[in-house]
Structure 1
């Protein structure tokens, strides 16, 4: 009789435990994009809210290095036509820091790309486009940090390169701005990373690094979690049924994205290696907390 009672109590306890497991499990919140743990290879003791110095980024005009706290969650917003109709604006603005590239606008595209711009990484060739719309970029974007990259002859602080001179004049007109340039050492470092990943010297191979390359490197330094919106994988444009979208979401009816990527990838000289860069990003995603969205794709161990 005692054996039967014990057996009955055991079954009752098991049933109760199963019910509790189901109830508690159903209350587990669904993780949002980029809500994963911090970078796997970052020190466990690192705090996102502690201010630190980031050498390689020189403030205009005093040359001081970048000093700020790291961002826990970052959105990198591609300028790709993939963003059109994405309805991702709210998700992008929900990230702690939002990184954009060159002169990509948000006005009129807020529903798809969001409205906030914490950081804008800009090629020296796009600086004139920002200067041509100063009220939009420099008066309204009070929270934005600008990071400008380019060759030494254009960006030199000591020799007052032409692009650097233009940035100094902007700072005189809008003293509230925060503009940084990449130092020569940082530019060399970015070249070295490309060579280490590909086995090819960037200059000898006739390659130009893209603004996306500098943006990703900056994001890996500043962000614990990176959510990339609108960037296709390295294999996307070789798939038979890939969609045809504008190269830039704000230049409808202009260049086709995949046609642009493939043309540059095959160029012998002066070509951006967009596809190669994305293959490298794919590999980095295996070591870092990087998530790709719209289209969604995963990093791979082998390129």
Structure 2
């Protein structure tokens, strides 16, 4: 074939193939866009719902109120201030009814330990039906949260998700929990598992708050030095359990227990370091740096 004929042959082939190439490129771009839309959100938090197990928690707030469950909230009178903040984060089954003056009434996100799941299920119509505007984020060890049918807490949450399809129920992934362990070790120099400790719900809540919030105001959390002060306040561990153990006594027991405790005081020291690098402030009591 002569060079001129060969050139015309390839030119004709290119012209005929161009529409197909353009269509194929459009399909690739459309598919990539769809995948991005499906995976939009915060890595490490996936929805518990039939057919939506890959859906990520898609939430962002310019300002958040992180309300502690501490007895420090009793008499704080911070309810109106908290309710003016768009995203209010609470923990476990901490109630608002009867405590609105101090802790507010609104809840955007509730972070819940695997050990508190039965308490929510006990009052399931309130948490998963009446409070449908609240997003729930559950954390727990792999033995309780595994998704192969052998995770008892995960199975219970999946049952709630099926029963209340409008409920927004998410789980902290195994990778995210391992990430939180690495954060604890980087900040303290200690391996969390070797110390016999469990990260607290407060730790997971603070990590989530930093993931989803531009600025955070923490209410009712004491600093790591509070319990050593001679003039410290004596309040219950939880504001809604007035006859329970004193907060500082509970913290000391957990800080020094050999196995199964939370390192509350150590975690507070970590939060203090984070507050120098992120927009985090503490009220009731106020932390000074």
For Structure 1 versus Structure 2, the TM-score category normalised by the shorter chain is: 0.7 to 0.9
Query: 1:264 touches 1:271 (CA, 8 Å); kept in 2?
Result: yes
Alignment correspondent of 2:187: 197
After TM superposition, give the deviation of residue 65 of structure 1 in Å.
Answer: 3.5
Larger radius of gyration: 2
Query: 2:45 touches 2:57 (CA, 8 Å); kept in 1?
Result: no
Whole-angstrom distance in 2 between the partners of 1:262 and 1:67: 35
State whether structure 2 residue 46 is matched by structure 1 residue 58. Answer: yes
State the TM-score, normalizing by the size of structure 2: 0.84
SS in 1 for 2:184: helix
Alignment correspondent of 1:260: 250
How many corresponding residue pairs? 249
Alignment correspondent of 2:111: 121
For structure 2, which runs of at least 5 residues remain unmatched after alignment?
Answer: 1-38
1:276-291 equivalent positions in 2, closer than 5 A: 276-291=266-281
Alignment correspondent of 1:138: 128
Moved over 6 A (4+): none
Whole-angstrom distance in 1 between the partners of 2:108 and 2:56: 14
State whether structure 2 residue 227 is matched by structure 1 residue 248. Answer: no
State whether structure 2 residue 146 is matched by structure 1 residue 156. Answer: yes
CA RMSD across the alignment: 1.3
State whether structure 2 residue 81 is matched by structure 1 residue 91. Answer: yes
Structure 1 or 2: larger helix share?
Answer: 2
Query: 1:54 touches 1:67 (CA, 8 Å); kept in 2?
Result: yes
Return the match for 2:65 from 68, 75, 78.
75
Classify 1:238/1:180 alpha carbon distance in 2 versus 1 (closer, same or farther; 3 Å). same
Whole-angstrom distance in 1 between the partners of 2:275 and 2:139: 24
Classify 1:69/1:209 alpha carbon distance in 2 versus 1 (closer, same or farther; 3 Å). closer
State the TM-score, normalizing by the size of structure 1: 0.80
For structure 1, which runs of at least 5 residues remain unmatched after alignment?
Answer: 1-50
Alignment correspondent of 2:170: 180
Task: Deviation per CA, 1:46-76: give whole Å up to 9, x if none.
Answer: xxxxx95211111012212424241000000
Alignment correspondent of 1:233: 223
